[in-house]
Chain A
Amino acid sequence: MARAVPLRRKLIFTALAWGIGFVIFFPILWTILTSFKTEGEAVSLPPSFLFFDWTLENYGIVQERSDYLKFASNSVILALGSTLLALLIAVPAAWAMAFAPGKRTKDLLMWMLSTKMMPPVGALIPLYLIFRDLKLLDSHVGIVMVLMLLNLPIIIWMLYTYFKEIPGEILEASRMDGASIGKELIYVLAPMALPGIASTVLLNIILAWNESFWTLTLTTKNAAPLTQFIASYSSPEGLFWAKLSAASTMAIAPILVLGWFAQKQLVRGLTFGAVK
């Protein structure tokens, strides 16, 4: 029987959890609040928290100056495209590593992860030249490929971890019943690993949505996503915080909503296999 937790302790931990949650969420809250201030109010000292003249002026300016829908649709194309493409490669790769490991599987996994340790700028010039020669600069195809490659190690790692939790005997049984590898993957493995795959997809969409280095460098106008939309509102000389906050709020809104609705799957997926 579980030990009863004293009420006082429960209250303290609950308050602490809410406190930590508030601290983590505060930058986003502050961004949202600032987006409703005037530029003067946004930098006023001491800063005002809730008692200021709320205005929608910044949203109006941002709407007028930028084609938000174009940037947003590019973000959707890039995030979904790179995620789906990565999944097509990662599922068979993770399956092979989890159920038919070789002598070097662990080393291979570590090597894949090590590619994430290189600073992106180290690959900038070679990649830029390749993109220039292949006419991929500012194209959806090019940036989808980059985002896919960028997140592939994490996706393979996550899927590998989930697949390892599934008993190999179930797959063997399906093979005994005459299932091909394709059918085994689609009809046996995929349904069992669905929560893991869902959380991997969600995390990858968030990572691709927020990626800024490559999307800022390799896109100009046709394939430019919301990262570029935000970057166009920052300025080293002049007041821009309120407009930048409005642009940021508009940029994070879709992914914030998606994250809110999918938080259960995300948490489940991220903690899957963490405690045995």
Chain B
Amino acid sequence: MKSLLAGILGAISLAALASTASAETTLTIATVNNGDMIRMQGLTEDFTKANPDIKLEWVTLEENVLREKVTTDIATKGGQFDVLTIGTYEVPIWGKKGWLVPLTQVDDPADLLPAIAGGLTVDGKLMASPFYGESSMVMYRTDLVEAAGEKMPDAPTWADIKRIADKITNKDKEIYGVCLRGKAGWGENMAFLTATSNSFGARWFDENWKPQFDQKEWKDTLDFYLELMKADGPPGASSNGFNENLALFNAGKCGMWIDATVAASFVTNPKDSKVADKVGFALAPDNGLGKRGNWLWAWSLAIPAGTQKEDAAQKFISWATSKHYTELVAGKEGWANVPPGTRTSLYANPEYAKVPFAKMTLDSINSADPTKPTVKPVPYVGVQFVAIPEFAGIATTVGQIFSAALAGEKTADEALAEAQDVTTREMTKAGYIK
């Protein structure tokens, strides 16, 4: 018994020693699982050759797991990470709280796309450097639109979308005019609906942080969305997020899909898509009010305050988001695989201009303004989100309410009234409404 106990304790002590041993300049990088980030992990030899004293260790996680883990760590100053991959939603909030170190060694910061850099800047300081940026746009089946006797404008209105969707829909053949997000979540259906509501002139809050779901603009948005999806959407749309719609579109079931610009490379990849050679692109729709229904997002690299390895982290971020890295990817894997949506110089490059969705991605990003996201003035920053800590929780609840409306469990009026109540209650509790 004694020897068993001693053995166990010995093994645990050895494991403890092993776990605490680490090199002085080892950077622990927390990152999301997307193609661009995974590609970077394979190209880091270029960085470590130039910086032999810095070792890189990657912790790759699913977006929501990563967000939860990194938030816990940074809020408690746990110090588990030296470089973080964070989204446009977190940067202004964490930057204001002093949780991030301003970046001082970013390669040619003036070259960053103004719309993207604007969302990552707090009090004039760049808090995160964009690695990959995206907006949203219309992806459509050229063959189905043509067969319907229509032509998709480069900058369509919502009325165009509805008309074309009505003509394409053939439920007997399981062809649906339009596929849109319906799955509940602040980054799922609410990203789409918030961006769409901007083009209808709606806003989450007025200048005094009063929720606006009781206003006509939100009613117009939700009525339009529900009617469009009822007439032309696929069955079970309230469970569909990005990946579900991607699967439907690639299987040839959707006439149009309005979603992230990053999807362009997936739907045009003949390996995974049955309709790869029949896809066209257009800007996200508008309603003639001066704002389009597209969002703006970037995965960016940042340094948590309190890391002991700030200098090495600055060097790494400078390399990973540099023009040199872009050229490295282009040289090894081709221009279509370069992380998009971060630098002006990339879109001025004639080689990159040959990528079929390059121009539409740039136009979509440029048409979004996180500081003036909608028609009326707002007290917040963010196009498809509101950059306050309470937003994720509130929008997830509102997303569940709207998803239930899409599933037919409640009417648009009931959903909006409930959303107004929930948001008012939470904003009052948080102290925004006195």
Interface residues of A (CB under 8 A from B): 38-40, 43-45, 65, 77, 81, 84-85, 88, 124-125, 128-129, 131-132, 135, 137-141, 144, 182, 186, 216-217, 220-224, 228, 231-240
Chain B residue at minimal CB-CB distance from A124: B72
Q: Across the interface, do A43 and B80 meet the contact criterion of CB distance under 8 Å? A: no
Q: Is the CB of B72 within 8 A of A44?
A: no
Q: Which residues of B contact A (CB under 8 A)?
A: 1, 5, 8, 11-13, 15-16, 18-20, 22, 28, 32-35, 38, 41, 57, 59-65, 68-69, 72-73, 75-81, 187, 241-243, 246-248, 250-251, 253, 260, 262-263, 266, 271-273
Closest 7 CB pairs of A and B: A140-B15, A40-B272, A43-B247, A234-B62, A232-B60, A222-B19, A139-B19
Q: Which residue of B lies closest to A240 (CB)?
A: B33
- Can you list 10 contacts pairing A with B, beta carbon distance less than 8 Å? A38-B271, A77-B15, A128-B78, A137-B79, A137-B80, A139-B16, A224-B59, A231-B62, A238-B246, A239-B266
Which residues of chain B have C-beta atoms less than 8 A from A238's C-beta?
Answer: 34-35, 243, 246, 262, 266
Contacting residues, chain B, for A85 (C-beta < 8 A): 8
Q: Once the chains bind, are A140 and B271 in contact (CB under 8 Å)? A: no
Residues of A within 8 A of B247 (CB): 43-45, 239
> What CA separation (Å) do A223 and B14 show in the bound complex?
13
Least Cβ–Cβ distance between A148 and chain B, in angstroms: 11
Please determine whether B69 and A81 come into contact, CB atoms closer than 8 angstroms: no
A139 and B20 in contact (CB under 8 A), knowing A77-B15, A235-B34, A239-B272?
yes
Contacts of A137 in B (CB 8 A): 78-80
Across the interface, which residues of B come within 8 angstroms of A125, CB to CB? 72, 75-76
CA distance A228 to B247 in the complex (A): 26
Check B271 against A237 for contact (C-beta < 8 Å): no
Distance in Å: Cβ of B134 to nearest Cβ of chain A? 9
- Which of the residues B15, B73, B81 comes within 8 Å of A141, measured between beta carbons? B15
**Distance of A77 Cα from B1 Cα, bound (Å):** 20
Measured CB to CB, the nearest residue on chain A to B13 is A141
Q: Known: A128-B76, A141-B15, A221-B28. Contact between A239 and B68, CB under 8 A?
A: no
Choice from B8, B62, B76, B78 contacting A81 with Cβ under 8 Å: B8
Complex contacts, B35 vs chain A, CB 8 Å: 238
* A236 cross-chain contacts in B, Cβ below 8 A: 62-64, 187, 241-243
Q: Are B253 and A45 in contact (CB under 8 A)?
A: yes
Contacts A137-B78, A221-B28, A238-B35; A40 near B69 (Cβ below 8 A): no
Interface centre among A84, A125, A137, A235 (most CB of B within 10 A): A235
Question: Given A125-B76, A135-B20, A237 and B15 touching (CB < 8 A)?
Answer: no
Partner of A220, one of B33, B59, B260, B263: B59
Residues of B within 8 A of A239 (CB): 243, 246-247, 266, 272
Residues of A within 8 A of B18 (CB): 140, 222
Minimum CB distance partner of B22 in chain A: A222
Instruction: Report chain B residues within 8 Å CB of A144.
Output: 12, 15
A45 contact set on B, CB distance < 8 A: 247-248, 251, 253
Q: What is the distance, in angstroms, from A219's C-beta to the closest C-beta of chain B?
A: 9
Least CB distance from B74 to A in Å reads: 11
